[in-house]
Amino acid sequence: MNSKELFEESKKFIPGGVNSPVRAFKGVGGTPFFVKSASGCNLISCDGEKFTDFVCSWGPAIFGHSHPRIKAAIARALENGTSFGAPCELELEMAKLINGLIPCAEMVRMTNSGTEAAMSAVRLARGFTKRDLIVKFAGCYHGHADSLLVKAGSGAATFGNPDSAGVPADFAKLTRVLPFNDFDAAEECFSQEGERIAAVILEAFPANAGLILPKENFLKKLRELCSKHGAVLIFDEVITGFRLGLGGAQKLAGVIPDLCVLGKIIGGGLPVGAFAGRREIMERLSPVGPVYQAGTLSGNPLAMAAGAEALKMIIELDPYAELKRKSDFITSALRQAAKERGVALQVPQAESLFSIFFNENPVENFEGALKSSTALYAKHFKYCLERGVYIAPSAFEVSFMSLAHDGASLERAAEVMASSIKNL
């Protein structure tokens, strides 16, 4: 079957025909293509079309798809089984790697997804502080757990419904939502309710509402505010962990949280999540502490093997300068095309992450992101897709660079993206 036929058939058995909403292309229009295979920087659809991929499985494919070293690591682990329900040595190897590379990590607990990890980190913060309130920032997405799916970015924003149905009002009452980059609002919130606030959770570089860059000293001031009031500072680094650098956003920004949430790259392309942080907090987890958290497939040997190999490759290859150079090439082409055409376009970039906003002014928060023209983004997306370049199928997501994007692919992609802007 071709993609259209597969999609129509899938809608009979899967809500919306997809297992994650953004895949449905509702934010950009058209029918999603179904992937038959992926290799390097390319996707091959069931229709036989080839796409240069800047979604990269939403971040994990930092070395490209189907990397032989990662596939070999999975194959070796597979020889011993798929799941044990008991500890295995690969879990220890992964824990040592994360604890040695992430600045805040003294201990780590593996999970199966970023959502699960963020939910568990929040529960741990509440158990550690014996407080109830959580502070988050509008547009920061921390998975789809009830207490965090309030004014979130990602797919919720794509469908114009930042607050999900099914979230009890009483859950939302325990979450305070502030504008990103507004330290005065955070200070005011703590002045009124500081003794009740268990944690502040945020993406240090929000990348689920497009890419929003933190203002100078914003993160540092949050760190000081949390320390002053005894609240746990949590960085959600599901996207930025090992994507912005070896130590993630926290090392890049020079601000160390109490806990952080990880995912994507640490699974080497397989399902994974983790949360890590200060020993005195992490030791409140069961079985040594009173905060319960568990998972049947947590520390799955296949995911641990793939993720450990990915981290070893990062240490060995130090890919970040090359990834940034490649990203600079694309973002420069977009900015130049917008300048020549007179299109109001913002192209925020953080290392190998980038996005575009059809805005007059730089985007500093979720409100600014929502002012970006989704209609123009949909036209840009369609133009690129028709010419074999796959970017995020949502105006409120980011694109990713990989080491597998070679010169010819980048030149062709830059040409297509720039042409799209000039033809708007």
137 forms bridges with which residues in the sheet?
178
141 is catalytic: yes
According to DSSP H, which parts of 79-209 are helical?
89-101, 114-129, 154-158, 169-172, 183-193
Closest of 169, 168, 177, 181 to residue 200, by C-alpha:
177
Chain centroid to Cα 411, Å, comes to: 26
Give me the catalytic one of 53, 141, 258, 320: 141
Handedness of CA 52, 58, 64, 65 (dihedral sign): negative
Q: Letter for the amino acid at 316? A: E
Q: Which helix (H) or strand (E) holds 214?
A: none
Give me the catalytic one of 136, 264, 324, 326: 264
Q: What is the DSSP string of 338-392?
A: HHHHT---B--EETTEE--B--SS---SHHHHHTS-HHHHHHHHHHHHHTTEE--
Q: Letter for the amino acid at 302? A: L
Contact 347, 331 (CB under 8 A): yes
Contact 236, 208 (CB under 8 A): no
382 is catalytic: no
Give me the catalytic one of 151, 236, 258, 320: 236
Contact 243, 61 (CB under 8 A): no
* Orientation angle between helical segments 320-341 and 407-422, nearest 10 degrees: 20
236 is catalytic: yes
Closest of 105, 80, 86, 81 to residue 281, by C-alpha:
105
Residues with Cβ within 8 Å of residue 167, at least 6 apart in sequence:
146, 149, 150
Tokens of 215: 């203002």
Residues serving a catalytic function are: 141, 236, 264
